[in-house]
Amino acid sequence: MRRLTLGMSIAAALLVVMSLTAWAYEPAVHDFGGRTVVFAGHNQGMPPVGSPAWDRLQEAQERFNVKVEFRFISQEEVLAQALTAVVAGDPTYDLIQVRSADYVALATQGALIPLDEVMPQEYWESLPAPHQGRFGFKEARMIGGHTYGVPLPFGDYIGVSLIAWNPRLFANAGLASLYDLTYSGEWTWDVAREYAAKLTADTNGDGVADRWGFAGMFPTHSMHNTLLPVLATNNVELTKEVDGRVVLSLDENGKTSTMIDIIRKIGAEDRSVRPDAWNFDAFTNGQVGMFVAPLWAMESTKNENFLQGISLLPKGPEATDYTMAVPGLNQMVVPASTDEDPRALIDLWTAIYPPELIDEDVEARMTAAEDEDGFMTMYTAFTEFSLFSPYAGVLNGPNFYDPMQDVIDGKLSPAEGIAQVAPLIQAAIDDLLKQ
């Protein structure tokens, strides 16, 4: 993780970040013959009249001789509706927004058009850095050797878990700055546990804790958002390929057991986590030292009581570097049932939502940073994030989270919890991949 140049202002540093978002690909113009195309998904809606997106839509409809209809589909209904359309040969949907689990399921069932075969390499290479992450946009979405998605106006980085922390509480407790620990490589989960315990206290003498080390999406609130990124900090990998078969490797070398045991101790043993964890007011009022939240929520931790710090998750015992893993991805896909030319659809989408729009999203979210080191932390998250696993969606359900909840609550040992989930998760992967 690199530091900002000494004396560089946040405004100047923002220009550095913006310089990473150059977009070189020029979408070709196609004639749709006046037909209507449908963009569907849980974030798909007609842009507000008079907005820049509205203006781009009107211009694109005229240039491409097309009418664009936006249709809402809830996240819970996308998979079923897309599959139904493909099986029935119903060309209703032309572009659909899908999450990781649905993306894998649709791709492995032949319901999507491979877009790496449609769009030129120039397109993929010129996607701005906040779309690429550590390993590349196209590479993160490879299923069976193909990529099926293109970007939304925001990036996958919104799922990176960060820590908003209270420098005033740290100083009063005699604790080192998380920035200093991070840059020296000493910000580990063992230190996090120690600090959380020291921050947890009964400040009014009534025998009940009224200040805590941790809160937010940690360790059990919205486990899909937090548990997987936490496991990734200890170099946990969900799967590996053995003789052409995708095999669960969740607890290889005990990495998952070790990590789950650490967070179990922080919560159930040390009681260093505020019970109503997802409570922004508790953090902004000084009742919590460290608030864990995905990047999309970091703006909500800003307050008038103190200038917050923003840090990465700590390193696990098996890790040599910090990890900014996202539990899932969002993308627009082209269903195999469309009647339209997929290249024309992607060029139309790109004309309305050019990838450089990510500049605006990055700039808006960067306002959560209130000092240069916090800005650098967010810069790193925007450009160095990675996917936990393309198959992470199979963990998004009670077969995984219920036993893990019992482990973190101290009702099961890590080994017992993993023994419960392993055969169920492997069966889900086998079913998903038809292997």
Nearest residue to 330 (alpha-carbon basis) of 21, 73, 42:
42
Structure-block tokens of residue 394: 């199979």
Listed in sequence order, the DSSP H helices in 142-247 are 167-172, 178-184, 189-199, 223-232
CB neighbour class for 164 (10 Å; exposed up to 12, middle 13-18, buried from 19)? buried
Q: In the prediction, which pLDDT does 370 show?
A: 92
Q: In the prediction, which pLDDT does 435 show?
A: 83
The answer on 248 and 134 residing in a single domain is no
Residue 4 in any domain: the answer is no
Residue 295 in any domain: the answer is yes
Q: In the prediction, which pLDDT does 5 show?
A: 37
Nearest residue to 415 (alpha-carbon basis) of 261, 235, 267:
261
Helix (H) or strand (E) holding 95: strand 95-99
| Calculated CA dihedral for residues 261, 264, 269, 275, nearest 10 degrees | 170
Alpha carbon 66 to chain centroid, angstroms: 33
The answer on 169 and 43 residing in a single domain is no
Residues of the chain with pLDDT under 70: 1-23, 222, 224
- The answer to whether the beta carbons of residues 298 and 165 sit under 8 Å apart is no
Q: How many domains does the chain have?
A: 2
The answer on 351 and 272 residing in a single domain is no
- The answer to whether the beta carbons of residues 94 and 329 sit under 8 Å apart is no
The answer on 176 and 153 residing in a single domain is no
Residue 302 in any domain: the answer is yes
Q: In the prediction, which pLDDT does 21 show?
A: 52
Residue 80 in any domain: the answer is yes
Phi, psi of 327 (to 5 degrees): -75, -15
The answer on 312 and 294 residing in a single domain is yes
Full-model pTM: 0.88
Q: Is 379 strand, coil or helix?
A: helix
Q: Dihedral of CA 291/296/301/306: which sign? A: positive
Structural domain boundaries, residue 42: 21-158+328-375
**Which positions ≥6 away from 201 have C-beta within 8 Å?**
209, 210, 211
The answer on 367 and 253 residing in a single domain is no
The enclosing domain of 277 has a CATH number of 3.40.190.10
Residue 387 in any domain: the answer is no
Residue 160 to residue 217: CA distance in whole angstroms: 12
Residue 252 in any domain: the answer is yes
The answer on 218 and 92 residing in a single domain is no
Residue 127 to residue 130: CA distance in whole angstroms: 8
The answer on 401 and 301 residing in a single domain is yes
The answer on 309 and 169 residing in a single domain is yes
Place of tokens 């894998």: 104
The answer on 340 and 371 residing in a single domain is yes
Residue 221 in any domain: the answer is yes
CB neighbour class for 244 (10 Å; exposed up to 12, middle 13-18, buried from 19)? exposed
Residue 11 in any domain: the answer is no
- The answer to whether the beta carbons of residues 338 and 93 sit under 8 Å apart is yes
Q: In the prediction, which pLDDT does 25 show?
A: 84
The answer on 35 and 145 residing in a single domain is yes
Nearest residue to 310 (alpha-carbon basis) of 320, 295, 296, 322:
295
The answer on 403 and 290 residing in a single domain is yes
